[in-house]
Structure 1
Amino acid sequence: MTMIRCVSPVNGEVYAEREALTPEQARAAVARAKVAQPPWAARPLEERVALVQDGVRRLNGLGDRVVEELAWQMGRPVRYGGEFGGLNERAAYMGGIAAEALAPMVAEDSARFERRIERAPVGVVFVVAPWNYPYLTSCNTIIPALIAGNSVIHKSASQTLLVGERWVEAFDGLLPEGVFQNVVLDHEGTERLIRERSFGFVNFTGSVAGGQAIERAAAGTFTPLGLELGGKDPGYVMEDADLDWAVDVLMDGAMFNAGQCCCGIERIYVHESLYDGFVDRAVAWTKQLKLGNPLDLSTSLGPMANRRFADTVRAQTAEAVAAGARPLIGREVFPEDDGGTYLGPQILVDVDHSMRVMREESFGPVVGIMPVSGDDEALRLMDDSPYGLTASLWTSDPERAARLGRVLDTGSVYMNRADYLDPALCWTGTKDTGRGAALSVLGYHSVTRPRSYHFRKVKA
């Protein structure tokens, strides 16, 4: 018997535990999903859209419970109210474009021929969700997959073990039995199901090592994969930027959720003419945060989800300081930094790309800030990373931003904003950030496959 446990970062105690499914139980869940999928796909599209959106509304009804559970499981302060704003925006948008995104592409409809391409559901979609934004990230696949006529099997991260149960509660009695299921699996059980070719599509959000394990498990099965892995997202503040706005958004992008954001800002490059002013404002902005218990409404910075995550940030910071970096936030400002999960935020200057903190994923409340002489240096440094999820450009010149964006090796380019997913746009990455497409019309293409029809009409 394998137990999956969530140890709360709030107090270091076990908050929830569940028994992992046996191989036989896991296969039975897949079998139920496969039986349930064809009649679900046969229902009218508008009915599927309505039922899925009803489920999202029911999930909203669990709001207070969900917010408190997230605080206990992964440490996000309750003052931020969970993930419902982005979840509702994405659900509404994906439901609204479903008819267009799934409409047949008609090449010919004449007296002699009918030729078209339809989007067919892939069957059973497996969603392996992360812990940092477990509802927001999983909804990117769950919602279009169900609307497109697939059944879905969801697996929560151990750190947010209860999330899948809330999804089940939201859909219970709305969706036919077997169409949406939550499973509790260890790594071996997850990889076994993938090796056994159980799914028509697998979506995984997590570490690079986790993505590599998923790819190895899928090797030779030809199972399509969507992988969102690591990130080291940069911001570049140009000489014509609105400085106050840039500081406010970039520092929020660096520190929100204790820096545990897929597209959070982890390094900032500032034109030398604005550098001193940016750094001064960034320090003042950061000192206004309050580190503490996430269940306290006055807390704006909660603990990191796990001590080992905090230890990674501490190690990167210590190495950088030993190599010459200068920390600007004294420990006396955030005395609750106790060597455990509660980690005070940090700004580092005098950094360079020989330091891990500027090239490897930190995923915590630390950011390095470097001066640059202009676009050429900024571009070189922004692309000097094994990752490519987003890049944030700060300028009053959209043409300049577009010109720079076209040469950056990244999935999304922002101008004068950061750390946001627009459901109308494709969410994707390059390099070690992974591959695949979520949200937008292309998100529907990930959970469907093209089926071509070529009919020659023979007259008697």
Structure 2
Amino acid sequence: MGQTIKCISPIDGSVYAERPVLGREAAKQAVSRAREAQKAWAAQPLAERIARVMQGVANVGAMNDEIVPELAHQMGRPVRYGGEFGGFNERASYMAKIAQTALADIVIEDSDAFKRYIAREAHGVVLVIAPWNYPYMTAINTVAPALIAGNAVILKHASQTPLVGERLAQAFHDAGIPAEVFQNVFLDHDTTSALIAARAFDFVNFTGSVGGGQAIETAAAGTFTGLGLELGGKDPGYVCDDADLDAAVDTLIDGAMFNSGQCCCGIERIYVHESLFDAFVQKAVAIVSAYKLGNPLDPETTLGPMAQARFADLVRAQTQEAVAAGARALIDPALFANDGGAYLMPQILIGVDHSMRVMREESFGPVVGIMPVSGDAQATRLMNDSDFGLTASVWTSDTARAETIGAQIETGTVFMNRADYLDPGLCWTGCKDTGRGGGLSVIGYHNLTRPKSYHLRKLS
């Protein structure tokens, strides 16, 4: 029997789904079929490509009642939250709306003597390697604009969420997108790296770990293949002395704990002005203490298991190390008697500092450290004291102050009075170990196409 990938459900540790991986030759053939079909797809009118992609999106929406419990089984998100279709549809719809403008020629001159312009041309075959934590929304960030721009797409989804790629393939194929133009494949790491190294793809978009991004870069070395890499994060929140305290607590704690803390732009560390610190912490503890940890298929559950027990063990280790070094854990374990394995109780830590892993390394789980600060200068220094830079959340009633602070933060997105949200109208990007490139917005289209210049001289 050949190699397979297995989805081990975090609910009970059982095998929820198992799929055979493609051998190297079969994988090459899949890419060849995509390359052969891409030109005809790109030749379709833009309006036709948009219509088919959006019909595919609608088809996913029609499956939502089946998708929601599948997600609970695959990666542990509680069914009470209803899945991802709202954000999935918002992102695809926005990219469809701006496509005509974003992909339009840039006309420099159209006179009796010359016609000069810059066109946007599809790369060709785009590989999308999608993660398990928001498996529909992260995939559509690239899949929708790549298809709309005229690329063929090969989707390799995370082994934790194999049914997602199959659902997307069914939805898009039923919408009239040729099977060769959008392919869902199951590949092992070695085959993926070999294909990238052989220049099988014209662009690769990867969302995942820093180590995974390094492996992609290594495989692509010397091929000049375009890369988009969204990697780790340690996103900070800063509560200024003029913040709306209740709004800040509600949003930042939700940003730290929702999806069991498994959010790309989740809040992992919070800095609060010393004048608001005690009140912030008190309110935060009350919110978290009311969570219900349990089976994600139970509508009463607000916090499901982490996707894998080893992820929970990492967060436990970070928390235990911090407490041993002097931090104080504020959430009573007696409130979460079912903590164990992939089921991880939420935790708030005070007395933390940046010598602790929990304040420096990505946790990707339901724990957050909260520190008091004396003002903007100290908060900015601490926010920048990180190897990562995806988003930062600033809480203040003064927009100019937020802009001033934001200009000093090393990050991809600055939020004011908001957190843990991806705005499709803005470029989704990061700096430092968070990666390179940018998705969504007009810039997302520019990264999924290449500029092609036309200098046409008219001879009379």
- TM tier, smaller: over 0.9
Secondary structure, in 3 states, of the residue corresponding to 1:301? coil
Please state if 1:178 is matched with 2:180. yes
How do 1:366-377 and structure 2 match up within 5 A? Answer: 366-377=367-378
- After superposition, residues 46-195 of structure 1 pair within 5 angstroms as 46-173=47-174, 174-195=176-197
Q: Give the Cα–Cα distance (whole angstroms) in 2 for the partners of residues 117 and 358 of structure 1.
A: 46
- 2:282 corresponding residue in structure 1: 280
* 1-structure distance, mates of 2:275, 2:386: 25
Name the structure 1 match of 2:291. Answer: 289
1:344 alignment counterpart? 345
Asked if 2 retains the 8 angstrom alpha-carbon contact of 1:36 and 1:177, the reply is: no
My pick for the range that moved more, 395-404 or 61-70, is 61-70
Aligned equivalent of 2:249, options 230, 247, 250 = 247
**Alpha-carbon offset, residue 330 of structure 1:** 1.4
Q: 1-side partners of 2:417 and 2:179: how far apart?
A: 45
1:89-122 Cα offsets, whole Å, 9 max, x none, are 1111100000000000000000000000000000
The equivalent residue for 2:199 is 197
SS of the residue corresponding to residue 162 of structure 1 reads helix
Q: Distance in 2 between matches of 1:129 and 1:397?
A: 37
Residue type of the partner of 2:411? Answer: T
Q: Which runs of 5+ in 1 are unaligned?
A: none
TM-score, with normalisation over the residues of structure 1?
A: 0.99
Which residue of the other structure, out of 312, 315, 331, is the alignment partner of 1:313? 315
Alpha-carbon distance in 1 for matches of 2:444, 2:19: 32
Distance 2:350 2:440 in 1: 36
SS of residue paired to 1:202: strand
User: Distance between the aligned counterparts of 1:12 and 1:56, measured in 2?
Assistant: 31
What SS does the aligned partner of 1:73 have? helix
Percent identity of equivalent pairs: 67
Alignment of 1:258-269 (within 5 A): 258-269=260-271
- How many Å separate the matches in 2 of 1:184 and 1:177? 15
Q: So what's the TM-score if we normalise by structure 2?
A: 0.99
SS in 2 for 1:24: helix
SS at match of 1:286: helix
State the 1:433 CA deviation. Answer: 0.2
Mapping 1:272-421, distance limit 5 Å: 272-338=274-340, 340-421=341-422
Stretches of structure 2 that go unaligned for 5 or more consecutive residues are: none
Q: CA deviation at 1:224?
A: 0.4
Aligned CA-pair RMSD: 0.5
1:276-327 CA-partner distances (Å, limit 9, x unpaired): 0000000001011110000000001000000110000000000000000000
Runs of 4+ in 1 over 3 A off after TM superposition: none
What is the CA-CA distance between 1:177 and the residue it aligns to?
Answer: 2.9
2:258 matched residue in structure 1: 256
Deviation at 1:271, TM superposition (A): 0.1
Q: Separation in 2 of the partners of 1:281 and 1:141?
A: 38
Give the letter for the 1:56 counterpart: V
Aligned to 1:220: 222
